Amino acid sequence: MKKIGIFGGTFNPPHIGHVRLAKAAADALGLDRVLIMPACVPPHKLPAALASGEDRLAMCRLAFGGDARFEVSDLELRRGSKSYTVETLRALHAGDPAAELWFIAGSDMLATFRQWYRWEEILSLARLCAASREAEFVPDLSGFTPAQRARITVLPIAPMEASSTEVREALRSGRPTELLQPQVLEYIGTHGLYADGLSAYRALLRDRLDAKRLHHSECVSDAAAMLAAQYGWDPEKARLAGLLHDVTKNEALPAQWHLIEADGGTLSEIELQNPKVWHQRSGAAFLRQNGLVTDPEILSAIACHTTGKAGMTLPDKILYIADFISAERDYPDVGVVRRLAALSLEHAILYTSRYTVMTLQKKKLPLHPATLACYADTLRHFGLDKEKLPNGKDDAT
Ligand code: ATP
């Protein structure tokens, strides 16, 4: 009986971890063929910085070209709609009912497998081969029946820290990466993939921000682009706003003060008590004064990203929330805010501005009037403006 592996993924771009997994699965399972199947738009992923289907197919052909068992398939891309694995497996099964199908995936996929569309049918159409992506991977198969468990094989290969996300980050920031095969790297270079015109800004940030702040800025950039795509702002502008939002965060306070003054501004009593909020204004001032950003939407969003304010524009809201939900954030309620942000920006702002107001009140820290105004404005938006606002004396909780 013919044994066919199906290795689906975004392959954005394909890296050596992918090739290694496909080879290990083909060897361990004795597969005759492995279909490498770039997905159209994966239902569980965000399509940010996604190379075209044509480019991903070409890169897969280059990456998986050295092994006669591998065949790059455009089945899912040709379908032209969201890629559901079950549909792919149905089509392959109908085409060759006698073949034994194996679906190959990393352990991260196994963890969410039971949320996949028609996962039980997937498991009846194909066996599942999962390879570990993290050290000491112990698969939790408790949610599967014994018959289903018997169709799942865990591939015993040492995990390799490689992901397309890491590759894209390296490419964007001009860092060398050993995770790509040379032929794929060359393809990316000659086709201008994953370069988003932000390299000059990144070079500027590398001189001004520490590593942690740089990483945060990249994460906010991604989150802002994602929110912009969802809510209707230009994702490229959002990406730039996110990248630059903390540009003066590591700047000495006198220099920040100077930037604000040179922009015709003064610091209020409350701001003088809380220098942590200066960077929103000094950042916008720095970018404007140096002609680095002229776009008023971006400058406005940066100028209020920490405190928020009343009457925020869509770009203001996007950056404000992106700063709360960026991928590296791990404060206790971040999951709630991410879910709210996926539903509505206003709900996310209500939650975060209320949280900020209450926390500052509780800790008796200076509360910027713009934050209170932002909270009040959002309450008004929901018709909740009868709610008692903190006035500095009462505990509003
Ligand atoms: P991204 O970082 O963009 O999420 P990715 O590196 O996870 O991408 P995908 O194209 O989403 O790559 O992955 C396709 C399949 O390959 C998935 O089943 C994934 O779990 C698996 N995979 C990716 N990288 C590795 C790796 N380093 N080790 C084992 N499996 C991997």
Does residue 340 sit in the same domain as residue 224? yes
Does residue 144 sit in the same domain as residue 241? no
- Residue 157 pLDDT > 80, yes or no? yes
CATH number of the domain at 106, please.
Answer: 3.40.50.620
The closest alpha carbon to 306, from 335, 336, 273, 284, belongs to 284
- CB distance 12 to ligand 1 below 6 Å: yes
Angle between helices 296-303 and 314-325 (to 10 degrees): 50
Domain count along the chain: 2
The per-residue pLDDT for 196 is 67
The per-residue pLDDT for 44 is 47
CATH number of the domain at 303, please.
Answer: 1.10.3210.10
Does residue 133 sit in the same domain as residue 209? no
Which range, 109-118, 180-189, 258-267, has the best average confidence (pLDDT)? 258-267
Residue 47: which residues within 8 A CB-CB, separation 6 or more? 41, 229
Query: Model confidence over 78-97: pLDDT tens digits?
Result: 987 777 899 999 999 999 99
For 36, the enclosing helix (H) or strand (E) is: strand 33-38
Which range, 243-257, 279-293, 383-397, has the best average confidence (pLDDT)? 243-257
- CB distance 18 to ligand 1 below 6 Å: yes
Does residue 210 sit in the same domain as residue 152? no
Does residue 157 sit in the same domain as residue 207? no
Q: How many Å lie between the centroid of ligand 1 and the Cα of residue 156?
A: 16
Does residue 224 sit in the same domain as residue 352? yes
Does residue 353 sit in the same domain as residue 218? yes
CB neighbours of residue 285 within 10 Å: 24
Domain assignment of residue 115, yes or no: yes
- CB distance 53 to ligand 1 below 6 Å: no
Residue 30: which residues within 8 A CB-CB, separation 6 or more? 3
Which atom of ligand 1 approaches the CA of 14 most closely? 10
**Which domain range does residue 16 map to?**
3-161
User: Comparing 132-146, 271-285, 322-336, 365-379, which segment has the lowest mean pLDDT?
Assistant: 132-146
Domain assignment of residue 75, yes or no: yes
Let me know if 103 is exposed, middle or buried by CB neighbors in 10 A (0-12, 13-18, 19+).
buried
User: Comparing 33-42, 128-137, 142-151, 293-302, which segment has the lowest mean pLDDT?
Assistant: 128-137
Integer Cα distance of 285 and 279 in angstroms: 9
pTM over 0.75: no
Query: Model confidence over 26-64: pLDDT tens digits?
Result: 999 999 999 999 998 654 454 457 888 999 999 999 999
Domain assignment of residue 170, yes or no: no
157 versus 315: the higher-pLDDT residue is 315
Does residue 69 sit in the same domain as residue 213? no
Q: Atom 13 in ligand 1: which residue has the minimum CA distance?
A: 9
Domain assignment of residue 167, yes or no: no
Instruction: Write down which residue in 161, 187, 207 finishes a domain.
Output: 161
Domain assignment of residue 248, yes or no: yes
- Residue 3 pLDDT > 60, yes or no? yes
SS3 content of the chain, % helix, strand, coil (to 5): 55, 10, 40
